[in-house]
Amino acid sequence: MPKTILVISPDLPYPHNQGNKRDIWGHINFFHSAGWRVVLIVCGWTTESDLKTFNNQVPIDITCHAVQRRVDYWALKEHPQTISILQNLIDLHRPQVVWCEYAHFSSLVTALNINGAKLWFRPHNFELPHLIDKTLASRPWLTWQSYSFPKRALSWSIELCLNLVQRFYKEQLMHRIADRLFFISYSDLRFMSKFYKDSVSKDWVLPFVDCETIPIKEYKAPLDVVYVGVHAEDNEPTIRGSHKLINEIIPAVEATMPGAFRFHIVGRGSYEMFSKHASKTLFIHDYVENLQAFMQDMDIVCIPVEIGWGCKIKMIEALASGLPVVGSQQTFRGVEPLQGAYYVCRTIQDYVEALKLLQDSDIRRHTALAGKAAYKTWLNEGHLILYAALEELETRTSTLSGESEVGIGITTICKK
């Protein structure tokens, strides 16, 4: 049997028009380039039409199956038909590794016989505090009528407790059953390790992104500052970050440096939510089809998110492309603390001071180079971690099967 890694994902990762899809696709591309056969199982609500489109567009040779999950991702009990179909696919492909994107697959894989394969997980968030952050930030009680407040409050509290129990159970189960964990976020690794107190092998492997270099523009004025959000219509971190930019950061910057910057908000649903704030200083773009081309005209990325865990992919993409990044402490939760590679802002005045410094093209260039160098270092470390994990696995497999040759083959990505 060929070296096979079976990737279980809730979404089709290509085209990678969302941050989580870019992360998932980065692993698939890596495994394929390392000489492994990749079998992708999309276990969610993917349609046959979506699967057909994916197979027609995907640029590498992989096998893909769509399996209906049939229950909520965080439900404690999985659907028997989903379990049966997945078991048949595992028996068919006989993988050496089962790689699960997200902790919520833990309850599903425990119902499977993976035939001695190694079980690796990719946690995308520390789900417990992530849920608390988002739930409290939405402040649903502001919409409750006084006469129904006690009943709504009780119902909301019960639902929140249930959701927290589900996430705790699945994350704890993931830590108990996994052979290895590959965290997307540096902070998530640190905090989850302390919280769950497990002995499973774990590493930080940041997202693998492929971005075009964006040049530093000399003597440009005004400078273009962009905030790229995700699904503004239903994403609380994006909504909160946009409001902070509109209501606090832009007025403070304009008061100090009038006309020095043009601000841009990009993201699906942004125009409907924020168009009333558009001005000669603020431009609302909604969804941009060719984001990489759009970003070529930008000078600075500002990500003023205040809630949420995991890793901000847009921050990673900005570092990788060579743009200076300004953001909150939460913005950089996903990466190691590193002075000079980005600007961490704790107050509105910090944002003002950072943008004031970045008016100087030499400082922008220095910051961009430091950020890009940091990303390359973290990227190489992530590659080495995964190569070593695959090599260790193949060496053990070859020894057990009596084969004389060991090691993984590294090849170029093959087109269909």
Q: How far is CA 41 from CA 12, 16, 28, 201, 327, in A?
A: 9, 16, 12, 24, 35
pLDDT greater than 80 at residue 138: no
- Report CA torsion sign: 271, 276, 279, 281: negative
At 382, is the pLDDT very low, low, confident or very high (cuts 50, 70, 90)?
A: very high
Phi/psi for 314 (5° steps) reads: -65, -30
Q: How far, rounded to the nearest angstrom, does the alpha carbon of residue 47 sit from its chain's CA centroid?
A: 23
pLDDT greater than 80 at residue 368: yes
In this prediction, residue 416 carries a pLDDT of 35
pLDDT greater than 50 at residue 406: no
Higher pLDDT, 19 or 349: 349
Summarised one tens digit per residue, pLDDT across range 38-66 is 999 999 988 888 899 999 999 999 999 99
Higher pLDDT, 142 or 257: 257
Range of weakest confidence among 209-218, 233-242, 342-351, 375-384: 233-242
Q: Which of 112, 405, 29, 16 is nearest to 5 (CA)?
A: 29
In this prediction, residue 139 carries a pLDDT of 80
Q: Identify the residue whose tokens are 């997945």.
A: 86
Q: Provide the CATH number for the domain formed by 4-205 in this structure.
A: 3.40.50.2000
In this prediction, residue 259 carries a pLDDT of 95
In this prediction, residue 198 carries a pLDDT of 79
- Give dist(CA 238, CA 315) in Å, integer: 13
Domain boundaries, the chain: 4-205, 223-372
pLDDT greater than 70 at residue 385: yes
Cβ partners under 8 Å of residue 340, min gap 6: 366, 367, 370
Please tell me if the domain spanning 4-205 has the same topology as the one spanning 223-372. Answer: yes
Asked if residues 253 and 261 have their Cβ atoms less than 8 Å apart, the reply is yes
Higher pLDDT, 229 or 174: 174
Q: Which of 110, 127, 122, 269 is nearest to 195 (CA)?
A: 127
Q: Which CATH architecture has domain 223-372?
A: 3-Layer(aba) Sandwich (3.40)
- Give dist(CA 350, CA 384) in Å, integer: 36
Asked if residues 174 and 121 have their Cβ atoms less than 8 Å apart, the reply is yes
pLDDT greater than 90 at residue 395: no
Q: Which of 268, 216, 256 is nearest to 350 (CA)?
A: 256
Structure tokens at 89: 């696919």
- Give dist(CA 383, CA 54) in Å, integer: 26
Structure tokens at 180: 């290895």
Residue 102, CA atoms < 13 Å, CB-side half-sphere: 18
What size, in residues, is the chain?
416
Residue 298 three-state SS: coil
Structure tokens at 374: 């940091």
Residue 277, CA atoms < 13 Å, CB-side half-sphere: 21
- Give dist(CA 371, CA 332) in Å, integer: 12
Gyration radius of the chain's alpha carbons: 23
Asked if residues 159 and 131 have their Cβ atoms less than 8 Å apart, the reply is no
Provide mean pLDDT across the span 368-382.
Answer: 96
Cβ partners under 8 Å of residue 80, min gap 6: none
At 414, is the pLDDT very low, low, confident or very high (cuts 50, 70, 90)?
A: very low
Q: Which of 143, 142, 76 is nearest to 110 (CA)?
A: 76
Q: Which of 181, 208, 207 is nearest to 196 (CA)?
A: 181
Asked if residues 147 and 86 have their Cβ atoms less than 8 Å apart, the reply is no
Asked if residues 101 and 10 have their Cβ atoms less than 8 Å apart, the reply is yes
DSSP states along 62-95: -EEEEEE--S-TT-SS--HHHHHHHHHHHHHH--
pLDDT greater than 80 at residue 233: no
Which stretches of 96-229 are assigned E, i.e. beta strand?
A: 97-101, 118-122, 180-183, 201-204, 223-228
- Give dist(CA 57, CA 49) in Å, integer: 12
At 1, is the pLDDT very low, low, confident or very high (cuts 50, 70, 90)?
A: low
Residues forming beta bridges with residue 301, ordered by sequence position: 226, 325
- Dmax (CA) for the chain in angstroms is 76
In this prediction, residue 214 carries a pLDDT of 94
Summarised one tens digit per residue, pLDDT across range 155-167 is 989 999 999 999 9
